[in-house]
Amino acid sequence: MPVIPKKIKLAAGNNTLAIRWSDGHESAYPYRFLRGKCPCATCGEAAPVQDQAVGGLPILGQKPLHPERAELVGRYALQIYWSDGHSSGIYTFQYLRTLCPCAECTAAREVENPA
Ligand SMILES: [Zn+2]
Ligand SMILES: [Zn+2]
């Protein structure tokens, strides 16, 4: 049975989106991390978000990036509407789970892909 989110919290504090999974695992994704992993075709071709600051200057005084809202796409994915107006990224649950930045998952990934 595929692991699916039981609970999705857009604003879990500390600029993170949190997901509690059906297997009991909990993931916390920093907004910028998640936005940078946008799987849409446009972002896939473009430079990472953090490198797109106008004129190469750091973005200061701008509202911090955050998800305005998120919608479930069928039973397999989450579409996130970002505060920068971008919304074409469909994050499948499977993809989200592989992105989980927690120590446990990171360690598991390192075992799967030894350097
Ligand atoms: Zn995108
Ligand atoms: Zn994890």
* Per-residue pLDDT, 67: 96
Please give the distance, rounded to the nearest whole angstrom, from the Cα atom of residue 42 to the centre of ligand 1.
6
* For the CA of 24, the nearest ligand: 2
Q: Which ligand is nearest to the CA of 38?
A: 1
State how far the Cα of 83 lies from the Cα of 63, in Å rounded to an integer: 9
Residue 106, SS3 per DSSP: helix
| pLDDT over 80 at 47, yes or no | no
Burial 75-100 (b: 16+ CB within 10 A, else e): eebbebbbeeebbebbbebeebbebb
Angle subtended at Cα 17 by Cα 16 and Cα 19, rounded to the nearest 5 degrees: 135
Token pair belonging to 14: 């500390």
Instruction: Looking at the CA of 102, name the nearest ligand.
Output: 2
User: What predicted TM-score, i.e. pTM, was given to this entire model?
Assistant: 0.81
Structure tokens at 84: 């920068």
Domain boundaries, given as residue ranges, for the chain: 5-47+65-112
Mean pLDDT, the chain, rounded, equals: 87
Residues 6+ apart with CB under 8 A from 23: 3
Spacing, Cα 108 to ligand 1 middle (Å): 27
CATH of region 5-47+65-112:
3.30.2020.30
Cα–Cα distance for residue pair 42/27, rounded to 1 Å = 26
Residue written as tokens 């989106």? 17
pLDDT band of residue 54 (cuts 50, 70, 90) is very low
- Split at pLDDT 50, 70, 90, the class of 113 is confident
